[in-house]
Structure 1
């Protein structure tokens, strides 16, 4: 498995000879020119996860690529004449030899004045490859055993104590910070350091990918 961090919450995951793009949002860059994708996946309909301008252009530029999104984003795309399959918890689908398991239902609570929208994280599994979990914007999903956790490091909805507890509960082999577009480098180091120091996960491998950097697992 090769993972490229395209900024903030956007990942290009290459596994089992498939290329899966997750959450092309407006804090991210480098996804606009991608072609030959095997799937585009969106966890929820906030612009930092689904850029309302560039993501539809990407979909039009990849007309044979299946698009799987939370129900709200699927509805939005259909209104633009674009096809998308709504993802729902427990309804697995296949991308070649990769099994994608949707987990979770709602975005994390932020504020009483902000309605909670659908948020469906995804677990990617394939024989002989590590398992990766991208939760979108929530810490409450139950993904099962996870090798690589793409962990939302910072957000208006996220308290550090909950972030640390999430990593402790999932207990991955690899801690890969994402959702970091609001942080300075010093802030990223502080938040990541708290996770490493306090989560209690033995042997946790910290992989710090900057924008447009890749790692192979």
Structure 2
């Protein structure tokens, strides 16, 4: 199984003749300011047979880019939400999935499992298996109590793609909590250990830091490296870089 890192939280996976993308992004939300990393047209990474979306926030679900670069008819799997179809724009094949449901995309087996969004919106983590290799992509989850059940039901994993930027947000209409809405570096290592991950691959960091609206936790890569040492294998991928699982 070959995995390529897309911008922000996205990845593209290829196994045999099947390819999928998880949380592919090209149009960045304006309220987060200018991105600190480049965003590339998605067709630079190659075509896909399906798109998996962890949740409907605009930095994870980019229907305009999906339609433009992958085609309006590409199957797009999203967490079940009453108004999901209304947010699909030109996309004609949006399929709503609940945690626990499984399906096949070519040579890849996919299962939606539990995940927790920082604002309480529906979110899933995606478990993807190709042959004997299995990975999990957790979107921008925060720390939760489902880790042990996920490990028992679906683990162990050859790689876990986990957010690490411990973002603290102050958005209009929301009373500031000053609490991270995604995993901190230390929490990501803990999650990887519980999941039995052969490798922790950090996602969801670097591109956004726009205080006070969006504040990335400081020194995250140094903290991540120090915490992972002698605990879990850490694989850091730059955008467009690939790994073989």
TM-score (norm: length of structure 1): 0.80
Does structure 1 conserve the Cα–Cα contact (< 8 Å) formed by 2:50 and 2:75?
Answer: yes
The answer to whether residue 242 in structure 2 is matched with residue 214 in structure 1 is yes
Residues 54 and 155 of structure 1, relative CA distance in 2, 3 Å threshold:
farther
For residue 102 of structure 1, report the CA deviation from its aligned partner: 0.3
For residue 6 of structure 1, report the CA deviation from its aligned partner: 1.2
Does structure 1 conserve the Cα–Cα contact (< 8 Å) formed by 2:67 and 2:91?
Answer: no
Counterpart residue number, 1:40: 51
Runs of 4+ off more than 6 Å: none
Residue correspondence of structure 1 range 56-67 to structure 2 within 5 A: 56-59=67-70, 61=71, 63=73, 65-67=74-76
Does structure 1 conserve the Cα–Cα contact (< 8 Å) formed by 2:115 and 2:138?
Answer: no
For residue 103 of structure 1, report the CA deviation from its aligned partner: 0.5
Counterpart residue number, 1:70: 79
For residue 88 of structure 1, report the CA deviation from its aligned partner: 1.0
Counterpart residue number, 1:112: none
Counterpart residue number, 1:187: 219
Structure 1 unaligned spans of 5+: 110-114
Counterpart residue number, 1:19: 19
SS of structure 2 residue aligned to 1:55 = helix
Residues 17 and 80 of structure 1, relative CA distance in 2, 3 Å threshold:
closer
Aligned-partner Cα distance in 2 for 1:95–1:57: 21
Query: How far does the alpha carbon of each residue in 1:92-147 deviate from its partner, in whole angstroms, 9 at most, with x for none?
Result: 0001121101001541x3xxxxx41111110011223x211001122434142111
SS of structure 2 residue aligned to 1:195 = helix
Structure 2 unaligned spans of 5+: 29-34, 168-180, 210-215
